[in-house]
A and B are shown apart, each in its own frame.
Chain A
């Protein structure tokens, strides 16, 4: 009797064991296999692009131009003797200032390229064309950042596992323009500052043209955006304190729930990792309406006050109208009537007109304005680089005109070469 019982039990055990093979098929609850993606998922992947776009550059990517521009230094007990020293310590092939941003841009690019590939294979409806336009905008934005900072970067038109070599900077700039032309042709019209529009693409194209010294083309594009009835200059307490305004052309929502980056934690007490230099603090006139939003006293230090949500996040502005005014002014030059746009902006900010006597003085006035207008918004270093003023302004070696390509990536890819100045 009992033996029969055992036999039944053991058979049951082995049977259960034998048939329970499917316990080994386990799948995640927050993801699906890529093989199961369909064209219906294109919209979802498209939304995902925005998410990647806002967080992948990392804080380093957003702040690279401020770090390298000489208007910030380290705060607290880590203070350094001079900004030059700090820049020298940060701009290294092994530093996160070089690698985090680079890695972020290419990780984001991968998502964009895969999206472009997927969207190109489905029926080209109007909606698909719009989404593709936005993807081209993102690719243009990625390459604007990469090539303006690192010079000769790797051009990837689609995702690949091959070790790609660098392309000359001129080709990279051409690639930026190519993508933004497509974006201008395909993006939807402006409806919300939080989504990419034709206007945002034009604004970025204007910036890219100026970056290459194509001043007239830049000015034309900037004027097109200024002329758009959707936009108007607004005050800083609207722009940076989350109030409705018409100045912002494209802004990432940067919600903490959506991988948002907390900028404020870098600037305020108790961390005060990065503080504006006394020089730039002194430049803010008391009548400047930007002053209280740009800087404030926090404990014993003066800190950047634009990103003030310490426990969560602030939106990240990509393009706003003030930049178009200043691009237009610079693009037209003094001789082309650019001064009007400069003074319009200054008046809006509570400042009197300036009257520069020469093109050089005019350029200096524009750069001074950009320095105050965009403090902590990621412009200063490239403004100095593209106008060839970095060495004289900061008294630094020539190599600081370009970021070194991250050592980790060079180590992994024999075809990727370091920028000549950094060899």
Chain B
């Protein structure tokens, strides 16, 4: 084994440092160590882990595989090192907590030159890297950076080259130029074997990981101005497919890890924030879901406080969260302080956004619309021999009024956040505060967010440490109608006649009661005051007892409280609250409150032991109990004397007054054993058992075991090329799911509130199902991690197969049973896929290039469903069937357009009035008719493959980062079809519909003719005319930033200053003909993939700066 290679592979603890000797200073810390027959390396790892030393060893001079026994109590560092290096002639250099070890030699000859170079070593976030080493290449001359990252080195050679290194970061080799000042910004190495990876109830280095875990540590260049963590994660991790929420700030996105986890709505991964599994990701009370999109509770978690995100993808890693891990686990770790002087960091940005692609929804002008309508009337009159009057253009020649322009705007947003972090030997802290104002592109839609964070950890005694993580957030979200609603701002704006305007000449609202054909969108925004206030506190506090070396007990108390106030006020001039018989004053206020809280208590016992023959053992045992409770209350007041009153105290009458309560609890026992033999063979075994109150006592407990193995081939003695590392992994495990079903679904219930005439009544509300049991998924995963050229290029490939059994689903039942659905375990499905990610680093000195690429292919199939024959249609255009993908579209297929009457089958000609210019539907069952029996599977809204790629170029302080996301093979159904009805009814039509209409043989084979009152082409059947390919390639972000030179800043006592310009969603390449190919009304896996003119994601330009001092 070459010594050089050893250095690279053991960089975690063994830094290639040689340095001038410094006499060992007395050091106060008392050390306990009881290690029996371990390698020198293990002993040093122990010092590093337990006492926080950063240790460098010149491993070409010192034998680190030597087996030693060290048993000391209350010893000084010097004594401990003496024991560890017994029998080796070494010297130590100690600088604070940095220790370097080398063979004792004669001091090198003093150099002729006495030039001194100094500077600062920083990470990408401009945080100082205390303990980073600097060596003059080709010599033994070296030094270590102090706690502010400063170093100073006396040069000894003619053309000096300095080598900088730090664990977890790529090495830097820089030739010293004329200047005596040399600052270095080191790049964290992604997919590095030395990365610390957070796993459930602990952390491991990537070397010891044997399962599929994706990590994302947002670097400055990769940050986006987003509201929630799911948006941050989009396109960053292979196997994690995220469809961003719509352009309404705070709306819910879709996150799916390794395909579809479940048939139920419970398809979201489990989010664990600093050890607390979130029990709710909802951000609203449901009071206004009829008119708007659901809001996400994740928006309460400030993305700028996030240090890293780990995604537990396979069962072997996720099984530690047992029952809630089927859809994967997203572990969010927030920032914590590092030892060193306090660092103050201030981020400020301002951005401007607008709604792109609005040209796709351009309305037909009055003249065009009337021409098309009248063609429809003529066609109707001709076909039926009628004499219907033609339309007359009320304002010929008038250009179309810009309705979209009245409800859309340029959205201005700004963001200010500040954090202070630092630490001493006994305490580390990170505190931050953020204010964010984000406007939506629709008028009246914005979100204000205030959040505070404090993470503090420290040591009380040698045997006791503690920590507190606290997050407080307050959001106010001013909402407008969107989503599946007649009051959606965009929908209502494109359902207007082009000659109409929002105001009458008198200044009154134009309404559907006077001149308009549909709701006035501006009126509904301006005559309402609709908001949600969310208060959220997520905190945890732990005590950790270091019982004996290697044995620790940790008890952790956590909470997640959320309080929501939802206010939906509509004045008497709002369409939904006009004065009426029972509400003579008009006006309406829905006042809805919800409180959701969960309490968590975790206890874990950890044991680590190194055995002399090279085996390392880690074991963990734990118990956890989490109780979730929610309550809500809502009341609707009617009748408000004027719009200046907006509390229900003044309401004339009330309706819909109710309150509710719900609770569930989860109790778990779990354990994990990690084995590592000579770093070559690693294994992890896990077991978790969960009991859930959602199941009957006899089915309450679920068992979730997993096992995984890894082989670090490059650690083998026969491995020759040490520039290449290679690891093989294999895992199998079981996870469970209980999400998406009600808290009491197993119980047959008689519910109250079924009242009549003011008398209490009961109803038999659910049949219950005592046979309900856990949905379980068995997942196997095989993976390879490989890196070349000392990590300059690294790649990870994973293959997985996931079989989900006992799928929980509201099975449709005959209504003669009393109910339309019964929650049951109805079937099984399979997801299999391949994930591939690649990271590359190139360039030297001033020019750097870093690239990340990931792609994942997932194939989902339903493998078992009731009696396997059935097709279960879901909603209006989806169905479930064995062999098909979950979420498949099931509808009548359009084949083209009849170009002549002769082509029309006789039955359709006679009975349906079909003629040339009408849509040809596929008569799937060949019975001559077109009806529900002709529905077929026509694709799905899930991509065949998706991913992202990022390129970051830096030159001196300039950095350019280009990040794309893509998704291929999914389809989206345009459920809104008002503007595409081609003359059926009198709906205003889109310009494209009018311009492209069929006007004679072979004018088009995709758009039908205009025909008055003819449902065949639009509303009669749900058909593929509205189903489009929604594959896309999006330039997610383009960021240009500049880091000011440190030497300039030092004069102003500033550590770092970065300014950046970021463009988000600059363009999207897609065949989707409307606003945004990513939006969907529903995130339910079974009915996913339809649009209702939700506002699309904005195109945003941000100017920001980050300053540290």
Measured CB to CB, the residues of A under 8 A from B are: 2-3, 5-6, 9-10, 13-14, 16-17, 20-21, 23-35, 37, 41, 44-52, 54, 74, 76-82, 85, 88-89, 92-94, 102-103, 106-107, 110-111, 114, 154, 156, 159-161, 163-164, 194-195, 253, 255-259, 264, 268-272, 298-300, 308-312, 407-409, 411-413, 416
Question: Do A32 and B1015 form a contact, CB below 8 Å, given A80-B985, A102-B815?
Answer: no
Query: What is the chain A residue whose CB lies nearest that of B653?
Result: A312
A17 contacts B623, CB within 8 Å? yes
Question: Do A308 and B985 form a contact, CB below 8 Å, given A30-B753, A44-B760, A77-B495?
Answer: no
Task: Name B702-750 residues within 8 Å CB distance of A.
Answer: 743-744, 747-750
B1013 within 8 A of A: yes
Task: For the complex, give the distance between the alpha carbons of A164 and B813 in Å.
Answer: 13
Task: For the complex, give the distance between the alpha carbons of A367 and B703 in Å.
Answer: 69
* Beyond A20-B625, A257-B657, 17 extra complex contacts between A and B, CB < 8 Å: A9-B553, A14-B623, A17-B603, A23-B627, A23-B665, A28-B662, A31-B751, A52-B754, A81-B1012, A107-B818, A156-B816, A269-B578, A270-B512, A299-B511, A299-B512, A309-B580, A312-B638
Residues of A with C-beta under 8 A to B768? 34
Residues of B with C-beta under 8 A to A89? 1015, 1019-1020
Query: What is the chain B residue whose CB lies nearest that of A308?
Result: B581
Measured CB to CB, the closest approach of chain B to A163, in angstroms, equals 6
Partner of A264, one of B511, B580, B601, B692: B580
Partner of B580, one of A31, A94, A106, A308: A308
Task: For the complex, give the distance between the alpha carbons of A62 and B503 in Å.
Answer: 38
Question: Do A45 and B638 form a contact, CB below 8 Å, given A30-B752, A77-B518?
Answer: no
Question: Do A45 and B986 form a contact, CB below 8 Å, given A33-B747, A270-B511?
Answer: no
B987 within 8 A of A: yes
B435 within 8 A of A: no
B196 within 8 A of A: no
Partner of B555, one of A13, A77, A82: A13
Measured CB to CB, the closest approach of chain B to A381, in angstroms, equals 20
Residues of A with C-beta under 8 A to B657? 257
A311 contacts B588, CB within 8 Å? yes
Partner of B744, one of A13, A17, A26, A258: A26
A310 contacts B749, CB within 8 Å? no
Query: What is the chain B residue whose CB lies nearest that of A74?
Result: B985
A110 contacts B545, CB within 8 Å? no
Partner of B764, one of A88, A111, A272, A413: A111
Task: For the complex, give the distance between the alpha carbons of A409 and B1015 in Å.
Answer: 25
Measured CB to CB, the closest approach of chain A to B228, in angstroms, equals 30
A110 contacts B818, CB within 8 Å? yes
Residues of A with C-beta under 8 A to B643? none
B1101 within 8 A of A: no
Residues of A with C-beta under 8 A to B519? 270
Partner of A257, one of B755, B766, B1013, B1014: B755
Task: For the complex, give the distance between the alpha carbons of A7 and B40 in Å.
Answer: 32
Residues of B with C-beta under 8 A to A114? 764, 818
A31 contacts B495, CB within 8 Å? no
Task: Name B556-590 residues within 8 Å CB distance of A.
Answer: 575, 577-578, 580-583, 588
B27 within 8 A of A: no
Query: What is the chain A residue whose CB lies nearest that of B487?
Result: A270
B667 contacts A21, CB within 8 Å? yes
Query: What is the chain A residue whose CB lies nearest that of B545?
Result: A6
A41 contacts B495, CB within 8 Å? no
B693 contacts A85, CB within 8 Å? no
Residues of A with C-beta under 8 A to B814? 163, 409, 412-413, 416
Residues of B with C-beta under 8 A to A255? 757-758
Residues of B with C-beta under 8 A to A23? 625, 627, 665, 667, 693
B762 within 8 A of A: yes
A48 contacts B763, CB within 8 Å? yes
Measured CB to CB, the residues of B under 8 A from A are: 380, 388, 463, 486, 495, 511-514, 517-519, 545, 547, 553, 555, 575, 577-578, 580-583, 588, 601, 603, 605, 623, 625, 627, 638, 655-657, 660-667, 669, 691-693, 697, 700, 743-744, 747-766, 768, 812-820, 870-873, 931-932, 978, 984-988, 1012-1015, 1019-1020
Partner of A298, one of B513, B693, B819: B513
- 6 residue pairs of the A-B complex, CB under 8 angstroms, read A37-B750, A49-B761, A77-B978, A79-B985, A80-B1013, A257-B656
Residues of B with C-beta under 8 A to A82? 1013
Measured CB to CB, the closest approach of chain A to B63, in angstroms, equals 36
A256 contacts B669, CB within 8 Å? no
B1014 contacts A270, CB within 8 Å? no
10 tightest A-B CB contacts, nearest first: A81-B1013, A110-B818, A47-B761, A310-B580, A299-B513, A48-B761, A50-B756, A309-B582, A31-B751, A26-B693
Query: What is the chain B residue whose CB lies nearest that of A254?
Result: B756
Query: What is the chain A residue whose CB lies nearest that of B654?
Result: A257
A27 contacts B754, CB within 8 Å? no
Task: For the complex, give the distance between the alpha carbons of A13 and B750 in Å.
Answer: 38
Q: How many A-B residue pairs have CB under 8 A?
A: 271
Partner of B581, one of A13, A48, A161, A309: A309
Question: Do A33 and B818 form a contact, CB below 8 Å, given A47-B754, A85-B1013, A89-B1019?
Answer: no
A45 contacts B547, CB within 8 Å? no
Residues of B with C-beta under 8 A to A163? 814, 816
Question: Do A194 and B757 form a contact, CB below 8 Å, given A33-B749, A311-B577?
Answer: yes
Measured CB to CB, the closest approach of chain A to B75, in angstroms, equals 19
Task: For the complex, give the distance between the alpha carbons of A268 and B580 in Å.
Answer: 10
Residues of B with C-beta under 8 A to A416? 814
Residues of B with C-beta under 8 A to A76? 512, 517-518
Residues of B with C-beta under 8 A to A300? 513-514
Task: For the complex, give the distance between the alpha carbons of A47 and B759 in Å.
Answer: 7
Residues of A with C-beta under 8 A to B1012? 81
A77 contacts B988, CB within 8 Å? yes
Task: For the complex, give the distance between the alpha carbons of A409 and B760 in Å.
Answer: 32
Query: What is the chain A residue whose CB lies nearest that of B516?
Result: A270
B749 contacts A31, CB within 8 Å? yes
Task: For the complex, give the distance between the alpha carbons of A201 and B42 in Å.
Answer: 90
B667 contacts A24, CB within 8 Å? yes
A253 contacts B756, CB within 8 Å? yes
Residues of A with C-beta under 8 A to B764? 34, 45, 110-111, 114
Query: What is the chain A residue whose CB lies nearest that of B602?
Result: A13
Task: For the complex, give the distance between the alpha carbons of A412 and B866 in Å.
Answer: 11
B750 contacts A45, CB within 8 Å? yes
Task: For the complex, give the distance between the alpha carbons of A6 and B669 in Å.
Answer: 19
Task: For the complex, give the distance between the alpha carbons of A27 and B745 in Å.
Answer: 10
Residues of A with C-beta under 8 A to B820? 103, 107
Partner of B656, one of A50, A81, A93, A256: A256
A47 contacts B756, CB within 8 Å? yes
B756 contacts A94, CB within 8 Å? no
B756 contacts A51, CB within 8 Å? yes
Measured CB to CB, the closest approach of chain A to B58, in angstroms, equals 39
Task: For the complex, give the distance between the alpha carbons of A408 and B754 in Å.
Answer: 27
Partner of B815, one of A48, A107, A160: A107
Query: What is the chain A residue whose CB lies nearest that of B520?
Result: A270
Residues of A with C-beta under 8 A to B664? 26
Residues of A with C-beta under 8 A to B870? 411
Residues of A with C-beta under 8 A to B625? 17, 20, 23
Residues of B with C-beta under 8 A to A270? 511-513, 519, 575, 578
Task: For the complex, give the distance between the alpha carbons of A31 and B745 in Å.
Answer: 12
Task: For the complex, give the distance between the alpha carbons of A31 and B747 in Å.
Answer: 10
B691 contacts A47, CB within 8 Å? no
Task: For the complex, give the distance between the alpha carbons of A234 and B495 in Å.
Answer: 44
B605 contacts A10, CB within 8 Å? yes
A10 contacts B514, CB within 8 Å? no
Residues of B with C-beta under 8 A to A5? 545
Residues of A with C-beta under 8 A to B545? 2, 5-6, 9
